[in-house]
Structure 1
Amino acid sequence: MTAAQATPAKISVSYGKVFRLAWPASVAASVTPLLGAIDVWALAQSARPLDIAAVGLGAVIFSLAYWTFGFLRMSVAGLTAQAVGAEDETEARATLARGVMIAGAIGIALVLLQWPIGQIAFQLLGTGSEASAETLASGRTYFNIRIWGAPFALASYCAFGWLTARGRTDYLMAASVFITALNILLDYWFVVGLGWGAAGVATGTLIAEVAGFFATAFFVLTTLKKHGGIRNNWRPSEFFMATRIKRTISINVDIFIRTLLLAFSFSWFVQRGGAFGDVTLAANQALLQLFLFTGLAIDGTAIAAETLAGQALGAKDKARGLAIYKSAVRRTFELALAAALLFMAFYWLAGDQVLALLTPEGPIRETMQTYMPWVIISPLIVMAGFQLDGIFVGATRSRELRDAIILSTVVFIPASLWLAGPFGNHGLWAAFSIYFLIRAVALGVWLPRIKKTFET
């Protein structure tokens, strides 16, 4: 008898359970681009509104760096969820320790190599761009300040993945809201109050990232205390077990490539926007925050799927695990679709009011209004890809995640050049949307592979 035949028919994941995992994760995910929107608002109210473009250029470097190393959060989340499903507390803690050690080392390396990284990055960002020398200089100032928070930000990413896998999305939300609230207060003080422009945004972000690390560490310790105590179930010898390290490296390499290409594509989108001048670059940067906000707000159901799929795959009873997995996929997709439709309706009805909150009257807002339709339809465009990402991360199917992004990127780069010629910035947004759709289609085709795992 196969696992599928032995599955108890009544085992399922309730909407309530998915919602309890999803809504705190949605809040946590959405506050990051919300912070970007606050940066835009603060700079728009200051005497240096075109520093919005400078922050866009500087921030894209951190998107590239942090998203590239986002494999740390994903691998920690997937492996921890499976350890929790298998009731292996020792491995759950070892996964956290491995992740934080790797993250800290990478963060320190970024700080030590900041000069060559900055030189290369701004040389590339300035190539073929119409951004002014002043904008590029302000972007470099932003980079030089914020880079010092890299070790803290990356270590926090690992802790976020670990908390998610343990079902503590409420702690994830609390830490994220704390970081964002602190950053908003500092933004207002440094940018609007003191007039520091891009340097003020960077300083506020640096302080918030360091403080956020300590807040996240507190929540990790609280979780450990509830699962056997802070000092128990630690076996340092298992941190470096050859088989576990080999599996971790294999997953991390695939997700590293996937995330590097994802971050590169976002960077390419921002850089190509610079070809249309400072105003379009600033407008794209502001709209990108809304694009990310809607996508990541919907991502809460993907994080729920990540947790539930990982725990189902780790379950010792494969029949039960399969039933939970199938129910989790169905329930999370249904809630994600409902959320996407709600966000579309919101932006369609209140889009002009949202833009008015972000920027004052002027050329930047007028340009944003021209391209706002792409943000309105974005929830449906990104929903399926984000949702499938969560399922594949929980299943630690890193090869499929990598291959889907490779395929999407191979199409996106030439499409952006081809469509931007006759259609300008609209063509760039169209290519960006196609990028997300191709990723979703590829992962959808490969989704049945995960189900087969329960039958082996």
Structure 2
Amino acid sequence: MNRMSADISYRTILRLAWPASVAASVTPLLGAVDVWALAQSSRPLDIAAVGLGSVIFSLAYWTFGFIRMSVAGLTAQAAGAEDEAETRAALIRGGVVGGAVGLILTVLQFPIGNLAFTLLGTGSEASSTTLNAGREYFDIRIWGAPFALASYAAFGWLTARGRTDFLMIASVFMTLINIILDYWFVVGLDWGASGVAAGTLIAEISGFFVAAGLVLMVMREHGGILAHWSKKDIWNPVRLKRTVAINFDIFIRTLLLAFSFAWFVQRGGAFGDVTLAANQVMLQLFLFTGLALDGTAIAAETLVGQAMGARDKTTAQRRYYVSVRKTFILASAAAIAFVIFYAVGGDAIIALLTPEGQIRTATQFFMPWVIISPLIVVTGFQLDGIFIGATRSKEMRDSMIISTLVFLPASLWLAGKFGNHGLWAAFSVYFLLRAATLAVWLPRIGRSFVAQR
């Protein structure tokens, strides 16, 4: 427990945070690469089609993002308690859930696709060509669901073990594969949205096997690959019950988050193909910003989780408060840097990602929302990391319920009154409200250390 008794330095946090930031930011970077490749092809309006198809996977994958979060929180706490058997049990439980859910999505792909595109097309001005191309994208990419969701468990586990460097390696590998295949399939072969889907499918399958190999490497460092395995530990009724409860709460939370993103994209379609495509470009930048800032949140997951699991609660409480304060300081500094970056280089980024013409003009018109987005999302992302590490899933669920109930009517009213600017304003309020509700409940975590003494 000497590691747990040491003070947490900014250097320690940065060692965890910067690889996690790289790993997190490459996820929306894939979307940005998709946009760039399509902009270079003869089918630039397929950007809107990929936007429609992607929102289904965002809804599905983000809904089951609880797999990564619960594995991360439970594994970090087990590591803090030096319970190696439970760290491995948490991984297996998460991996089984992820693979099974992905398999179910693949088997049910036809009814899911039919329902999804019926809903996306309702009240939308998107053309039939765009909707059909979006469906082709969905029909190809869905085959990667079992691999993508099983990878979530591996990513959460690597995070909790403090191996964000391995998390970065797996994520960067997937990105490089996708970039190469995007260029080949979309720019070279001119497959359009279908080429983007094929590249993503191959990258997700490859990423799963790389992540699995890295997990085995970590296990070798902690007693060996064959050590610490026990069916009794994996299927312990008490721990299973806790795992199910945490997963269900985060499932509801993440389902509402994914639904809100899907609602945002669908409402953007009401303004036509050009605005829908512009929103897709901006949304990739918005997500890139938030997930790049997520590195300090992931560091907080690990540090807070280890503190919650530690046996010496006095030392653990001190580590908890230091972790919260220092990760918030680093996250705020990064957010300010991103604001400056977008304010100075926004036009150049748009020119890189979009073809000349209506899509570029529309994106430039709405770009101020991206410029201020780092300040809007940073607090909510950081609080998410703290609550995940503490496995305070009920508060995360309730925060999302409140925020979504406000966002839906606000988006209808503001979009009706101010158009796409109003839609982005409602989206921004949604993120700010998430942060505000979690901030109200944050003191509960600190008080829990006193109750455990």
Does the TM-score normalized on the shorter chain lie above 0.5?
yes
The separation in 2 between residues aligned to 1:59 and 1:421, in whole angstroms, is 25
The equivalent position to 1:287 in structure 2, one of 282, 301, 310, is: 282
Q: Please say if residues 257 and 402 of structure 1, whose CA atoms lie closer than 8 Å, have aligned partners that are also in contact.
A: yes
The match for 2:67 is 72
The answer to whether structure 1 residue 336 and structure 2 residue 335 are counterparts is no
1:223-262 equivalences in 2 (<5 Å): 223-262=218-257
The answer to whether structure 1 residue 425 and structure 2 residue 420 are counterparts is yes
The answer to whether structure 1 residue 416 and structure 2 residue 420 are counterparts is no
The match for 2:161 is 166
The separation in 2 between residues aligned to 1:283 and 1:37, in whole angstroms, is 12
The separation in 1 between residues aligned to 2:396 and 2:179, in whole angstroms, is 34
Please tell me the residue identity of whatever aligns with 1:420.
Answer: A
The equivalent position to 2:306 in structure 1, one of 311, 331, 337, is: 311
The separation in 2 between residues aligned to 1:435 and 1:45, in whole angstroms, is 34
- Could you tell me the percent identity over the aligned residues? 71
Q: CA deviation at 1:361?
A: 1.2
The match for 1:107 is 102
Please tell me the residue identity of whatever aligns with 2:293.
Answer: I
The match for 2:35 is 40
Q: Deviations over 1:247-305 (max 9, x none)?
A: 00000000000000000000000000000000000000010000000110010000000
The separation in 2 between residues aligned to 1:453 and 1:91, in whole angstroms, is 22
Q: CA deviation at 1:422?
A: 1.4
The match for 1:216 is 211
Q: Please say if residues 137 and 196 of structure 2, whose CA atoms lie closer than 8 Å, have aligned partners that are also in contact.
A: yes
1:126-275 equivalences in 2 (<5 Å): 126-275=121-270
Please tell me the residue identity of whatever aligns with 1:230.
Answer: I
The separation in 1 between residues aligned to 2:304 and 2:346, in whole angstroms, is 35
Number of matched pairs: 447
Q: CA deviation at 1:11?
A: 5.5
The separation in 2 between residues aligned to 1:241 and 1:149, in whole angstroms, is 31
Q: CA deviation at 1:12?
A: 3.0
The answer to whether structure 1 residue 378 and structure 2 residue 376 are counterparts is no
Q: Deviations over 1:363-391 (max 9, x none)?
A: 00000001100000000000000000000
The separation in 1 between residues aligned to 2:234 and 2:296, in whole angstroms, is 31
Please tell me the residue identity of whatever aligns with 1:258.
Answer: R
The match for 1:364 is 359
Please tell me the residue identity of whatever aligns with 2:301.
Answer: E
Q: Please say if residues 11 and 323 of structure 1, whose CA atoms lie closer than 8 Å, have aligned partners that are also in contact.
A: no
Let me know the Cα RMSD of the aligned residues. Answer: 0.7
The match for 1:6 is none
The equivalent position to 1:407 in structure 2, one of 395, 402, 409, is: 402
The separation in 2 between residues aligned to 1:453 and 1:158, in whole angstroms, is 27
Instruction: State TM-score, norm by structure 2.
Output: 0.98
Q: CA deviation at 1:237?
A: 2.0
Q: Please say if residues 44 and 355 of structure 2, whose CA atoms lie closer than 8 Å, have aligned partners that are also in contact.
A: no
Q: Deviations over 1:200-220 (max 9, x none)?
A: 000000000000000001100
Q: Which runs of 5+ in 2 are unaligned?
A: none
The separation in 1 between residues aligned to 2:54 and 2:355, in whole angstroms, is 22
The match for 1:62 is 57
Q: CA deviation at 1:438?
A: 0.2
The separation in 2 between residues aligned to 1:57 and 1:200, in whole angstroms, is 15
Q: Which aligned segments of 4 or more residues in structure 1 are displaced greater than 2 angstroms?
A: none
Please tell me the residue identity of whatever aligns with 1:397.
Answer: R
Q: Please say if residues 12 and 328 of structure 1, whose CA atoms lie closer than 8 Å, have aligned partners that are also in contact.
A: no
